[in-house]
Structure 1
């Protein structure tokens, strides 16, 4: 019996969800792949214990967030622009909202962005988010409050859109 039994199956089963989280955290598909790969390399060393404890996905998600927050070796490649490109491309309102939201997310602190991603895209509760971040529920609440206030400041037009209203729930 191999010490890494089940790791491959775990990665295959949860790769898309973990990649989505990584992408939402960093905002760049290539950096998201790098982030996820670096975390999985660390996870495989602890796999026998994680598999035995029964919740490797929670541990992996927490490792993703921690690695993202402490990732200092690479600056963000996101280059926010005040205006979307106008090269004959027509955008629908939802696409424009996504562009504006993505740019605004890029201007949040790493911890604020992590809280927003975990709470609203991953649909974790405040307690689950606190567990992933390794902080108190009160910290999650205050970080969420500050992050949403900053998003309202950065993208006031989004507050009129349906996507922003859903996110604010």
Structure 2
């Protein structure tokens, strides 16, 4: 049985008397890509901002790998692997695709930044985890075949996976 990595249960978000999201529930399984579709003003951005922790929810629950995260601040959600991108995000054209994914993946590392400088603590184990995580992301996004290409040379559709 596949367990969802993200579960949203009866999510509600109000701004004063305006109900931007009312009783929204859905699940996302591992390696699944989900799209939110709807007209302007239907709550798509509010949903994403609520999941990321930019907006506190009015009621409901947000669970990441069976742990409630709706009370956590944004940076703790990022550390657990949940983050959002923006439509106007940009990439680093001179980086390779692999370097770009690696840069984005280092945000969730748990060792102290100085451990990288001095080579102590959990850094060595985390380096192996980082390589595994990058490989997984490249595979899921379909970017494995272009991992050594400069970001500026791949299609704009492929670049969207890096934003």
User: TM-score, structure 2 length as denominator?
Assistant: 0.30
Name whichever structure is richer in helix by fraction.
1
User: TM-score, structure 1 length as denominator?
Assistant: 0.29
